[in-house]
Amino acid sequence: MSISRTALVITASALFAACGAPRVALAQTAPATAAPSPAPSPTQAAVNDPCTSLGSLVSRPTVTTSACATKFGDLLIETGYTNFATGGSGANQAVTYPQANLRVGLGHNVEFDLNPASVERISGSPTITGATDTSLGFKYEISYTRKFLYGVNVLYTVNSGDPATSANGDGVLANVNASYFASPAISLFSTVSYNAQSAGSEAAPQRYHGFNPSLGTSITLPGTLPSFFLEGFGLTSYGPGASGRYGFDTGFQKDIGSKLQLDVNYYQYPGSYGGSHLHSIGFGAAYLIGG
């Protein structure tokens, strides 16, 4: 079943924002040698904490969310710009910025997350410009071993945006996040999400739900080269009455010192959706205060 191009863009933007999309590559890279965790459990006494570097913490720009929680008292600011293009039937472009994700470490492997409203501009006649919805939630980093890292997070979307660029209702996203460190240079990362969101118009709000699995790999390139990531993801439902979709994203991330990370990313949805072809390109940054 086809849905309106506005609802399509809103749904995609909500998914990216909720996951720390539009969203993890270096966030999943194998950990560098780091100081031991301040208070490791007996089973972790000889295992370095994999969540001490900037690259391990950042959750953008892939669908997968980093399993690492921000350390106590630290503030991690993630932000970005995405141009989401719809080709074919109902062709348009949707530009979204600043896609902010504010992550505050609360201690005991818990962080508070706030995704303030972004500006979204959708081309057409007329052009639509408005604020997206705000979401907030918590993340918990459960545990880690020499090879595995896993955690959970949940985000609640508040019906707070402008009618034309809002989901026009509340929503919940619950994630299980994990990483596997195959070697110091190669890691795998994954998130399995349950997504219950709103869509439709202000006059006729609708709801839908589904599961969103993702699986990717991150490769640390030699020397001063940026890290490379490649990820596949799926959505069992893309909107009210809509069938599932799948896609992939790829890109590079580069640390500038220990506090700043830059990224570029590309998303592609193979095939046609309601007669439309979808892809996006974006860039972003993350900055750590504290640490």
Instruction: Return the pLDDT at 29.
Output: 42
State the Cα–Cα distance between residues 211 and 193, nearest whole angstrom: 5
Residue 160, both tokens: 């707070």
Identify which of 127, 124, 123, 119 has the alpha carbon closest to the alpha carbon of residue 162: 119
Instruction: Return the pLDDT at 38.
Output: 52
State the Cα–Cα distance between residues 245 and 234, nearest whole angstrom: 6
State the Cα–Cα distance between residues 7 and 14, nearest whole angstrom: 10
Instruction: Return the pLDDT at 39.
Output: 54
State the Cα–Cα distance between residues 63 and 14, nearest whole angstrom: 11
Instruction: Please name the residues in contact with 241: beta carbons below 8 A apart, sequence gap of 6 or more.
Output: 1, 3, 208
Instruction: Return the pLDDT at 190.
Output: 98
Residue 194, both tokens: 């349950």
Choosing among 2.40.160.40, 3.40.1160.10, 3.30.590.10, 3.40.1010.10, the CATH entry for 5-289 is 2.40.160.40
Question: How far is residue 155 from each of residues 75, 186, 229, 258, 260, measured CA to CA in Å?
Answer: 18, 29, 25, 28, 25
Q: How far is CA 61 from the centre of its chain?
A: 6
Identify which of 261, 255, 262, 256 has the alpha carbon closest to the alpha carbon of residue 282: 262
Residue 251 and residue 229 in contact, taking contact as beta carbons nearer than 8 Å? yes
Instruction: Return the pLDDT at 15.
Output: 47
Residue 38, both tokens: 């301040």
State the Cα–Cα distance between residues 66 and 77, nearest whole angstrom: 14
Instruction: Return the pLDDT at 41.
Output: 52
Q: In the chain, which residues have pLDDT < 50?
A: 1-37, 43-44
Look up tokens 């860039």; give the residue: 283
- Concatenating the DSSP letter of every residue in 93-125 gives EEEEE---EEEEEEETTEEEEEE---EEEE-SS
pTM across the whole model: 0.83
Query: Which amino acid appears at position 121 of this protein?
Result: R
Instruction: Return the pLDDT at 24.
Output: 34
State the Cα–Cα distance between residues 218 and 186, nearest whole angstrom: 6
Q: How many residues are listed for the chain in this entry?
A: 291
The string of pLDDT tens digits covering residues 175-202 is 999 999 999 999 999 999 999 999 988 8
DSSP letter for 48, please: B
